[in-house]
Amino acid sequence: MVPIYYNYLDTPVGRLWVAATERGLYRVTLGPSEGEFLTSLRRFGGEPERDEGPFRELFNRLRDYFRGVPTSFSDLALDLRGTEFQRAVWRAVAEIPYGRVSTYKEIAARVGRPRAYRAVGNAVGRNRLMIVVPCHRVVRADGRIGGFGGGVEVKRYLLRLEGLDRF
């Protein structure tokens, strides 16, 4: 049984639910009810514990982020659970700077699989760390915005918040 802690932060795009294990930040997601979020966390085998402590620094950074302050999350400990390929994609996405975008094709090249842009899209779609691993900064090769787990309007909001008004 792995202890897991959770809390939430209300933001301009809605309630962000966060969870962490002893290894690091495990999940940042928008929107489910508390009950749905807790159900998703119970797969660790125990009852998630609501605790503010593990999230103070994250919440401070997220508040800055939503005020339009260029913010980095790259030094936070992350509990990335997925295949080796997914983790490579998530690490590459985490390196996209504030206010910049990359395409799925560029991420595929960055992880050494230049033709695997669809697989990259699938890995990006499975990202559990919204904003921290900034999948909203990944766009289509034709310049269109593409999909987003939090919804296209939230993706557009986040990109514009970062000064990318063309979206």
The rounded average pLDDT for each run of 10 residues, N- to C-terminus, in the chain (167 residues) is: 92 97 95 91 87 94 98 96 98 98 98 96 97 98 92 97 95
b/e per residue 86-114 (b: at least 16 CB within 10 A)? bebbbebbbebeeeebbbbbbbbbbbeee
Q: What is the pLDDT of residue 23?
A: 93
Q: What is the pLDDT of residue 31?
A: 83
Distance CA 37, CA 33 (A): 6
Q: What is the pLDDT of residue 1?
A: 72
Residue 139: strand, helix, or coil: strand
Q: What is the pLDDT of residue 46?
A: 78
Q: What is the pLDDT of residue 44?
A: 76
Please state which of the four CATH numbers 3.30.930.10, 3.40.228.10, 3.55.40.20, 1.10.10.10 is assigned to the domain occupying 84-161: 1.10.10.10
Q: What is the pLDDT of residue 45?
A: 74
Domain chopping of the chain, boundaries: 5-66, 84-161
Active-site positions read 135
